[in-house]
Structure 1
Amino acid sequence: MTSDHGFTCSCCGARHGGLPLHYTAEAPAVWNAAFAEADDCLLSSDQCVVKDRHYFVKGLIEIPVIGTDEMFSWAVWVSLSRENFARAVDVWETPGRESEPPYFGWLNTELPVYSSTTLNLKTNLHTRPLGERPFVELEPTGHPLAVEQRTGITPDRVCEIAAAVLHPAGGGRG
C-alpha cells in the first residue's frame, strides 16, 4: 500500500483518491480565535502562546503502518513549561538542536477518532534537525493512541481514520 492509492469510504461509500497519511491540528485545543488580536497571544505554524501563561509547540505523533514502509502521522500541539518553551525557542533555528534532551509536555489536541480523550496525555517532545517537526513520544500507557504509536496500525485502520476525519458527523469516535 502506498499513499497514492485511494480507498472506498465506509461512511459515504465513495471512492476517495489517495489514502491520507497525515492530519494536522491548526491550533491547540485551548486556542480561541479571539486571542488572535491579543498582545499576549501568538499562533504560528509551529508555536503558540496563550495569555503569556500557556506555551505550545507543534510536533508529530508518528505511527507505523503495518505491512508497509509508510508512516501515519498526527501533527499535534504539546504544552510545555515556560522554561522548556523558552529553551525550544532559543534553539529553534540552531543547527544541532536535535541533541537537546526531550521536553516533557501534555498533549493539547483532541483527536476525536479515539473513544477516550487525547487531551492531557503525557508526552516527551524530541527536537529534530532544522526543518523537521519535533517528534512527540507518548507515555507508554494503555490509551489507544499510545498503543497504536507503539504497535502500529493496519492499512484498514488508516482507512477508518480517513473516513472519520473526512465525515466527522458519520465517523465520530471509534
Structure 2
Amino acid sequence: MPADHHHRCACCTEHQDGPPLSYGAPAPVVWKPRYSRRRDSELTADQCMIKGRHFFVHGLIEIPVRDSGDTFSWGVWVSLSEENFARTHDLWDDPAREQEPPYFGWLSTELPVYQHSTLQLKTHVHTRAVGQRPLIELEPTDHPLAIEQREGITTGRVREVANLLLRG
C-alpha cells in the first residue's frame, strides 16, 4: 500500500491517515551497542554519554508543512559540550529550564533522504518545557535540511520522504 494512504503511529500504535509526520533515530550515529556494557557510557531516550567524553541530547528539528499547517519533525541527536550537557542534565526536570539560552551543538544524526550528509551541521539547542524534547535549530546555511527548516516543505515532500524511508 502506498505510504501516503495511512500508517501506524510508533507512539500510540493507532492507524493514522496520510504519511507519517515524524521520523527519528534511536541513538547518535556514533553509538555502538557494546557501549551499553561500559560504566562510562549510557543511552536513554533523551540523553547519551559515550566513554565519559562525548555527550548528546535528543531533540526535534521541526519543519512547517506550508500547505497543510502541520509540522514535520526529525528526531535527531546533537552533541553538546560537557558543560552544556551537565547543565541540561541538571535542569532536566526543572520548569525554569525554559529560560536557558540555546546551547551550541553538532548534528549527530544522518538523515538519508538528503544528498549531502547531515552530520556535523551546526545547531542551536533550545530547551523547552519539561516533558518536551528540545527544539533543534540549524544554523542558516545552504544545506537542503536548513533550507527546509527555514522555508518549510509541502505535503508532496512529506510523501516523498515517506516513500524513501518506508519503502527503502
TM-score (norm 1): 0.88
Equivalent residue number for residue 101 of structure 2: 101
Partner of 2:73, secondary structure, is strand
1:1-20 correspondence to structure 2 within 5 Å: 8-9=2-3, 15-17=5-7, 18=17, 19-20=19-20
* 1:46 matches 2:40: no
Where does the alignment leave 5 or more consecutive residues of structure 1 unmatched? 1-6, 169-174
Compute the RMSD of aligned alpha carbons.
Answer: 1.3
1:112-123 correspondence to structure 2 within 5 Å: 112-123=112-123
1:64-143 correspondence to structure 2 within 5 Å: 64-143=64-143
Equivalent residue number for residue 158 of structure 2: 158
Give the distance between the partners of 2:37 and 2:84, measured in 1 at CA: 25
Give the distance between the partners of 1:66 and 1:86, measured in 2 at CA: 37
Amino acid across the alignment from 2:128: R
Partner of 1:164, secondary structure, is helix
The share of aligned pairs that are identical, in percent, is 57
Equivalent residue number for residue 29 of structure 2: 29
Cα displacement (A) at 1:16? 4.1
Amino acid across the alignment from 2:35: F
Equivalent residue number for residue 57 of structure 1: 57
Amino acid across the alignment from 2:105: G
Give the distance between the partners of 1:93 and 1:16, measured in 2 at CA: 35
Give the distance between the partners of 1:95 and 1:16, measured in 2 at CA: 37
Cα displacement (A) at 1:69? 1.6
Give the distance between the partners of 1:124 and 1:138, measured in 2 at CA: 6
Give the distance between the partners of 2:85 and 2:105, measured in 1 at CA: 10
Amino acid across the alignment from 2:131: G
Cα displacement (A) at 1:8? 3.3
The C-alpha deviation readout for 1:97-143, integer Å capped at 9, x for no partner, is 11100000000000000000000000000000111110000000000
TM-score (norm 2): 0.91
Amino acid across the alignment from 1:62: E
Partner of 1:62, secondary structure, is strand
The C-alpha deviation readout for 1:146-165, integer Å capped at 9, x for no partner, is 00000000100000000111
